[in-house]
Structure 1
């Protein structure tokens, strides 16, 4: 399976989601590789820290690749059961070719007007990708959401996203929590901490992604 975590908006937690899904797979003894297409190399740096500081934790593999990543994605899918593509937050050659290669795509968005407005263009990219990859499944999701339950912005954003007829809306919300930042900095996954709320979020997303596996 090739899973793409991507979109046009930066700073929405794509690397956080990609690394945590990879860790969950690794803990299930699955072979998983991350293709890091982000110029910032967040996932690559995360994995370097993981390998150095925690060599006994379940293994995650990664490669860095820019430009046209279609052939690389297909090649990696023959070597690993699970390929996770961490694409940068912009319309790029990496994003477009990944959309043609992947089975499933998740588009993390903040519950803000600027983020929601980017969906118009990403929907056009999904339509374009489906001319070559008609089985592409695309999901929008709210990420880095406020934990203030009084605010209605999360629900309002989900309502707007649910009106899109090209991409489905994930049932999972990933909230802004310090433990996610700690995990990236430490080279670990959320399931390797004791934060129940964050672990539940990642597990719910994991189960949604792989419900038909």
Structure 2
């Protein structure tokens, strides 16, 4: 092969590699597939809530359903491609979906962001590594919270989502309270499970340390269906 042809071939290989680099990173490197964004992609969830109040002797349990649909992307104020996330809600499986709210999501080379009720949260930080840590409240005015990644942490339906990772957003417990907030993501799917618990335990002398819940809420969100419409 002539020297000039070798040079042209080398340049062609470099150009092709450059064009393919983002997909390669998406699939195998940074972990972008844990936060997929595609117009028409939808996810359905079952939500179970249990609420304790000081005025009721028994907790109140509620079940409802959520559906999130990724809309057509648009260019945000900073030029970043953003996706509207249409959120639908219904009280029973037989009911029709009713639009509840519209959130926003976008992905940058180093982070995945969701804007929920006008508050931006850094859901994932790339590249995803075991015990990788970042400030989930970096883009809002709330106090700093250290989010941490753990791979293959057991959770309900784990066998259905191999390669899942858990983001521990908060894990605080004491004799008087428990705060636990975890999100589980699966490659090619996104959020598949979430737990958000905030308990305040009884602090009276007769029951302090017993684990008796006075007030608080636990919300469990579990995926039931996903795909592209």
Q: TM-score, normalising length from structure 1?
A: 0.32
Between Structure 1 and Structure 2, which shows a larger proportion of strand residues?
A: 2
- Quick one: higher RCO (CA 8 Å, sep 6+), 1 or 2? 1
Between Structure 1 and Structure 2, which shows a larger proportion of helix residues?
A: 1
Q: TM-score, normalising length from structure 2?
A: 0.31
